[in-house]
Structure 1
């Protein structure tokens, strides 16, 4: 029998209660936060994610480290890609991880008191170390994956903005106009060049006028 199998059973029996307590004590008014949502579908998914996390976390007391670590990593990767979490400021997410962790600490303390005759001081220390370390791992993975996904979104938005800010307008026949607005640095100039050539090819433009009246500064490069 694994060293902390009794604790695993204890926490698994209470997983739904822990999740419900967490959900019932949510308090957030920021409209950008998933935790302030009033959308039934979003809330149902949020509760489902939290409960799934609880069940995966409980495995740290019943399985080998490489097994439960892989399970927690999988949960963190999936949650970090969730569009509602991607829209939520990261400090709110960290706050909720801490709240869940505090709930777990409370239940583990209760367990060690109930089993004080069999759970030694060394056992208790090992249990709390494993618990806190596991939360640290999940939080780290979640933040790292969320950062990557946020950067991907930002790059996509940047490319879209650049594309929309340099539209080729067909005047007549094969003649077009490229009105530019705002500063043009080396990076933007490169994107404008690539985007303009692509648009000219699509629209069969052979003669292009470039309007620079809205450009305050052009990078010498």
Structure 2
């Protein structure tokens, strides 16, 4: 490394900072940072360029970047702000080092300047990209875990009867999760009947039906009964057209009808007393509010 170039940059840091701030201001677009005030934007720019110069002073050390990058990640600043700022610093610094040099500057000297600046800038870019990537991966993992927990819930509604409401598309990974939650839930809740509600499943094709049939068969093998509910007319038509055989287990058009069947399978029934006009839908609603 050529310490002379580093010394020139550090000795003229105020001028380079001023030029960099002007350069960044020119490229600033409010639609890129819609929730950032002008005051916060300007103060962050000053903090950013100070951190860059600390990295230059320490010859590319990224230790000073940690606190600054963590703060920006928590506040939701985009990675593009940092990469544009770093590239602007590279451009401003190289231009500053060459502005007082004879136009006939030797190629070797130009290359030396660019290489020296790259030695400071590249570690900063690599560090920031890695920090943001790590943050995105962590966020994605947490969201995936949360969605996983919600994608196949098994809800006990009363002794011996549980409901699994399914919403959205069903792919192979989700089908595996449905199977695991279904079997674990049946055993844990000692369920005799499971209602699989597909009201929220937009499309039931051969693959989806195959996964549901597999789940129902697995439930049967551990001693429980499975009822498929929420079959809309268009879904019923699709199932018939595709030649899918669902005859091995009961199907119902709505959750309320499925619940009535579940009561019959568990040797129970709803008895209306005098003056009691509650229907099955109201009973199911009341169970959800308890």
TM value normalised by structure 2:
0.53
Q: How many residues are aligned here?
A: 202
1:166-177 equivalences under 5 Å are 166-173=152-159, 175-177=161-163
Regions of 4+ moved over 6 Å? 196-201
Give the superposition deviation at 1:179.
0.8
Match of 1:39 in 2: 37
Match of 1:129 in 2: 115
**Aligned partner of residue 51 in structure 2, secondary structure:** helix
Give the superposition deviation at 1:2.
3.9
Q: Deviations over 1:16-53 (max 9, x none)?
A: 424532443242243xx44x443368536632541233
| Higher RCO by CA contacts (8 Å cutoff, separation 6 or greater) | 1
1:40 and 1:192 map into 2 onto residues whose CA distance is 49
2:138 paired with 1:155:
no
When residues 121 and 179 of structure 1 are mapped into structure 2, their CA distance, relative to the original with a 3 A threshold, is closer
Do the aligned partners of 1:163 and 1:192 also contact (CA within 8 Å) in 2? no
When residues 190 and 3 of structure 1 are mapped into structure 2, their CA distance, relative to the original with a 3 A threshold, is same
1:141 and 1:199 map into 2 onto residues whose CA distance is 45
Match of 1:205 in 2: 189
Q: Deviations over 1:118-144 (max 9, x none)?
A: x98755532221113432343234334
1:174 and 1:22 map into 2 onto residues whose CA distance is 69
2:181 paired with 1:181:
no
1:42 and 1:108 map into 2 onto residues whose CA distance is 30
Q: Deviations over 1:56-100 (max 9, x none)?
A: 3432xxxxxxx523x236627962783268662x55653333223
**Aligned partner of residue 152 in structure 2, secondary structure:** coil
Which sections of structure 2, spanning at least 5 residues, go unmatched? 215-290
1:104 and 1:4 map into 2 onto residues whose CA distance is 10
**Aligned partner of residue 161 in structure 1, secondary structure:** helix
Match of 1:108 in 2: 97
Match of 1:68 in 2: 59
2:25 and 2:18 map into 1 onto residues whose CA distance is 10
1:196 and 1:42 map into 2 onto residues whose CA distance is 51
Q: CA RMSD in A?
A: 4.0
**Aligned partner of residue 3 in structure 1, secondary structure:** helix
2:15 and 2:177 map into 1 onto residues whose CA distance is 55
1:150 and 1:192 map into 2 onto residues whose CA distance is 27
Do the aligned partners of 1:168 and 1:199 also contact (CA within 8 Å) in 2? yes
2:6 and 2:84 map into 1 onto residues whose CA distance is 29
